[in-house]
Amino acid sequence: MHSRDRLEQAFVLRRRDYANTSLLLEVFAASQGRFPAIAKGAKRGRAPVAVLLQPFTPLWLSWSGRGEVRTLARVEAAGAALSLPGKALYCGFYLNELLMRLLGRNDPHMDLFAFYHAALTRLAEGADLDNPLRQFELRLLQDAGYALDLEREWDTGQPLVVGRRYVYEPERGLRAAGANEEGATVGGETLLALACGATLTGIAAREARDLMRAALAPYLGARPLRSRELFQQWSGAPEGPARRT
């Protein structure tokens, strides 16, 4: 059982009001993974703990309880809150929603936790939004047990090559596109650049976005992502965060 005196690195993925002065949280902790927790009395007092219990704020937390829902015992800041301006904010919401959709509860993902923190930091820098998202999507699929092979054809085992077009088959992988095949294809140069974490721009960035959307779709289910809906409302664009997420 987790000791209420031991502080752990964590982020809040989502928060909701609970009763009059408390909060119901979805927490992502380095050693524990994702779990629900109650912050009792978090909104009470002149310096309420609720100010700290916000998404994108690095935290030290301790908690108690053996049931599904834990009770927070201590809350401390582990660093300054990450400011995500404009579109970056909705990208952050998108990352949080992916974690809640793809990760089971109480399943530790310490490396993914560090990767998530790094992705938020890059989003806060604001210069490049697409590439942090693509790399996080790849890492999340890998840690959730759905790794996407970006270096070999799934059916032949042949390595992908620059200058050739490929088709993604859901829950299988990539195969070489036929000469007259219709539908979306991805360039080998895009796939190999994505695999090594290179910066993608222009057509390659769009191809990578569409590929990752298709790769995530079987595991996200039919329910639309709320982060995309919120972005559409904010931007007024018909495609919304599809352009960014």
Q: What is the pLDDT of residues 84-114, one digit of tens each?
A: 988 899 999 999 999 999 999 999 999 999 9
Residue 93: alpha-carbon gap to chain centroid: 8
Q: What is the pTM of this model?
A: 0.89
Half-sphere exposure of 127 (CA within 13 A, CB side): 4
pLDDT of amino acid 242? 38
pLDDT, the chain, mean: 90
197 in the Ramachandran plot: left (φ > 0), alpha (ψ -120 to 50) or beta?
Answer: left
Dihedral (Cα; 82, 92, 99, 52), 10-degree rounding: 40
Lowest mean pLDDT among 37-46, 150-159, 196-205, 220-229: 220-229
Q: In this model, does residue 186 exceed pLDDT 90?
A: yes
Q: In this model, does residue 40 exceed pLDDT 50?
A: yes
pLDDT of amino acid 236? 67
Contact assessment for residue 12 and residue 81, using Cβ atoms and an 8 Å cutoff: no
pLDDT of amino acid 245? 45
Architecture of domain 87-243: Up-down Bundle (1.20)
Mean pLDDT of 22-36: 96
Mean pLDDT of 46-74: 92
Do domains 8-77 and 87-243 share one topology? The answer is no
CA–CA gap between residue 92 and residue 107 (Å, rounded): 21
Query: 234-245, pLDDT tens digit by residue?
Result: 666 544 443 344
Query: 126-184, pLDDT tens digit by residue?
Result: 878 999 999 999 999 999 999 999 999 999 999 999 999 999 999 999 999 988 887 78
Pairing mode of beta strands 59-64, 70-77:
antiparallel
pLDDT of amino acid 241? 40
Residue 107: alpha-carbon gap to chain centroid: 16
Domain ranges of the chain: 8-77, 87-243
Architecture of domain 8-77: Beta Barrel (2.40)
| Percent of the chain topping pLDDT 90 | 77
182 in the Ramachandran plot: left (φ > 0), alpha (ψ -120 to 50) or beta?
Answer: beta
With 0-12 CB in 10 A as exposed, 13-18 as middle and 19+ as buried, what is 195? Answer: middle
pLDDT of amino acid 244? 40
